[in-house]
Amino acid sequence: DGGITQSPKYLFRKEGQNVTLSCEQNLNHDAMYWYRQDPGQGLRLIYYSQIVNDFQKGDIAEGYSVSREKKESFPLTVTSAQKNPTAFYLCASSARRQVGEKLFFGSGTQLSVL
């Protein structure tokens, strides 16, 4: 079945540590996105990528980094510069980054700080 796979489901970060969240899709989609979800708030865009080897900052990119070396993969690194990393992280994809394109989401990763 085609879809988006995020791993791990739960992740714990120690002070000063970088952690990487995995996102893989087999939908052959060009566009991929990372969102952050905090309790009682709407999803906020961290980074997006429209094509391999290209990515753009979203609304809250500080303290995060991404790469897009392969079409199917868009990993997110939460760096030590992100002072409040505890949140639910969702990866999504669409065929293209255009108005009217349906979004497909992964099942999310809950990141907590030890």
- Chain residues that interact with other proteins, rule: CB under 8 A: 40-45, 48, 58-59, 88, 90, 92, 97-100, 102-108, 110
Minimum CB–partner distance for residue 1 and other proteins (Å) = 14
The rounded distance, in Å, linking the Cα atoms of 25 and 74 is 9
Which residues are paired to 44 by β-bridges? 36
Nearer CB in complex with other proteins: 48/74: 48
Min separation Cβ 55 and other proteins, Å: 14
Token pair of 42 as six digits = 């709407």
Per the listing, tokens 């907590």 go with 112
Distances, alpha carbon 75 to alpha carbons 4, 28, 41, 114, in Å: 12, 16, 23, 22
Given the complex with other proteins, which of 103 and 113 has the nearer CB atom?
103
> Which residue lies nearer to other proteins by CB, 79 or 110?
110
Closest approach of other proteins to the CB of residue 80, in Å:
25
User: Which three-class secondary structure state does DSSP give residue 96?
Assistant: coil
Q: Which is nearer to other proteins, 83 or 102 (CB)?
A: 102
